[in-house]
């Protein structure tokens, strides 16, 4: 087991950070706070927020985010891992495999073995590496049947983290994410508040001070009647589920023709909302 996970991220003047993955790390459904806009099609997300928190503790954060929506494991390995190795940062976050796991017929054991190969490659950089478990789907009726598959994958991820000395953000145990307000209307991507809370959780794992508590209880939710809940289910199925199934059947991805929002290590212009 390596000691990469013990690297102090606030001990130097300059910190370099590379985020890898899919829509979860790209920051989908978290627009920039300026009028709720998404400038140039770019989202903010928990990784940008973590980089902003890191900027409070060092003179300069150089940050790259190579994550692209819709990417599956082999695409992340082919398109993002070599670039991350080339950049040789101090910190790497990798969340991958979710788009593989939710596809019918995929084997979590096989996906995890591929993930382990990616971590072995990244570990050669000497960076501190952070990985993420899948979230618990038990609160979502439509995705509840995948709970066992996700749990199996998570057990593999913990073993991989032990082998290579990675930090683990246990998203599965974040019960605060069982609330629908933590998620966008598509029920697959975090809401801005969900991204904010996850960023605080990542900082906690890294030992980096950040304002706020990720597990602060939600205020009481407004009651919803049965009819409203069913209308929301129908809207979700029509606007998200059907197009998602169509893309799978036609071999298309939401990430087609989308490039990484921060392909190089660039100084971060910190911002707060």
Per-residue pLDDT tens digits for 144-165: 888 999 999 999 999 999 999 9
HEC string for 112-181:
HHHHHHHHHHHHCCCCEEEEECCCCHHHCCCCHHHHHHHHHHHHHHHHHHHHHCCEEECHHHCHHHHCHH
Any bridge partners for residue 65, and if so which?
A: 19, 262
**241: which 2 tokens?**
């589920």
| pLDDT score of 36 more than 80 | no
pLDDT for 238: 73
| pLDDT score of 124 more than 60 | yes
Higher confidence at residue 41 or residue 28? 28
Phi, psi of 91 (to 5 degrees): -135, 135
Mean pLDDT value of segment 222-236: 72
| Alpha-carbon span 160 to 163, nearest angstrom | 5
Report residue 102's pLDDT band, with 50, 70 and 90 as the boundaries. confident
Q: What's domain 4-225+258-267's architecture?
A: 3-Layer(aba) Sandwich (3.40)
Higher confidence at residue 211 or residue 108? 108
pLDDT for 62: 97
| pLDDT score of 39 more than 50 | no
| Alpha-carbon span 191 to 176, nearest angstrom | 13
| pLDDT score of 198 more than 80 | yes
Residues 6+ apart with CB under 8 A from 185: 232, 235, 236, 240
Mean pLDDT value of segment 107-123: 98
Sheet bearing 60-65, strands edge to edge: 167-169, 128-132, 91-95, 14-21, 60-65, 262-267
| pLDDT score of 142 more than 50 | yes
Lowest-pLDDT choice from 30-39, 91-100, 169-178, 211-220: 30-39
| pLDDT score of 42 more than 60 | yes
Q: What pTM was computed for the model?
A: 0.88
- Taking alpha carbons only, the member of 99, 27, 114 closest to residue 63 is 27
User: Would you say 170 and 18 are in contact if contact means Cβ atoms under 8 Å apart?
Assistant: no
pLDDT for 254: 60
pLDDT for 10: 72
What integer best gives the mean pLDDT of the chain? Answer: 87
User: Would you say 131 and 169 are in contact if contact means Cβ atoms under 8 Å apart?
Assistant: yes
3-state secondary structure of 47: helix
Mean pLDDT value of segment 119-134: 97
User: Would you say 22 and 71 are in contact if contact means Cβ atoms under 8 Å apart?
Assistant: yes
Residues 6+ apart with CB under 8 A from 111: 73, 97, 100, 101, 153
**pLDDT by residue (tens digit) across 55-84?**
999 999 999 999 999 999 999 999 999 999
User: Would you say 75 and 25 are in contact if contact means Cβ atoms under 8 Å apart?
Assistant: no
Higher confidence at residue 260 or residue 257? 260
| pLDDT score of 41 more than 60 | no
User: Would you say 187 and 236 are in contact if contact means Cβ atoms under 8 Å apart?
Assistant: yes
């Amino acid at each position: 087991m390596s000691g990469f996970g013990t690297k102090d991220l606030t001990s130097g003047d300059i910190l370099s950070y590379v985020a890898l993955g899919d829509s979860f790390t790209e920051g989908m459904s978290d627009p920039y706070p300026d009028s709720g806009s998404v400038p140039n099609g770019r989202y903010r997300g928990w990784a940008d927020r973590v980089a902003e928190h890191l900027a409070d503790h060092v003179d300069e954060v150089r940050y790259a985010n190579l994550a692209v929506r819709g990417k599956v494991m082999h695409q992340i390995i082919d398109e993002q891992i070599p670039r991350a190795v080339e950049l040789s940062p101090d910190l790497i976050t990798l969340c991958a495999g979710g788009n593989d796991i939710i596809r019918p017929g995929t084997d979590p054991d096989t996906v995890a073995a591929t993930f382990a190969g990616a971590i072995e490659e990244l570990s050669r950089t000497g960076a501190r590496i952070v990985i993420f478990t899948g979230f618990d789907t038990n609160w979502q009726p439509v995705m509840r049947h995948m709970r066992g598959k996700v749990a199996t994958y998570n057990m593999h991820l913990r073993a991989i983290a032990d082998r290579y000395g990675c930090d683990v953000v246990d998203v599965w145990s974040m019960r605060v994410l069982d609330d629908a307000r933590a998620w966008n209307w598509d029920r697959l991507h975090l809401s801005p508040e969900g991204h904010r809370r996850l960023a605080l959780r990542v900082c906690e794992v890294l030992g980096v001070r950040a304002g706020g508590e990720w597990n602060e209880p939600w205020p009481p939710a407004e009651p919803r009647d049965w009819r409203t809940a069913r209308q929301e289910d129908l809207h979700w199925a029509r606007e998200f589920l059907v197009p998602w199934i169509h893309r799978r059947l036609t071999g298309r991805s939401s990430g087609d023709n989308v490039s990484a929002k921060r392909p190089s290590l660039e100084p971060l212009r910190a911002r707060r909302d």
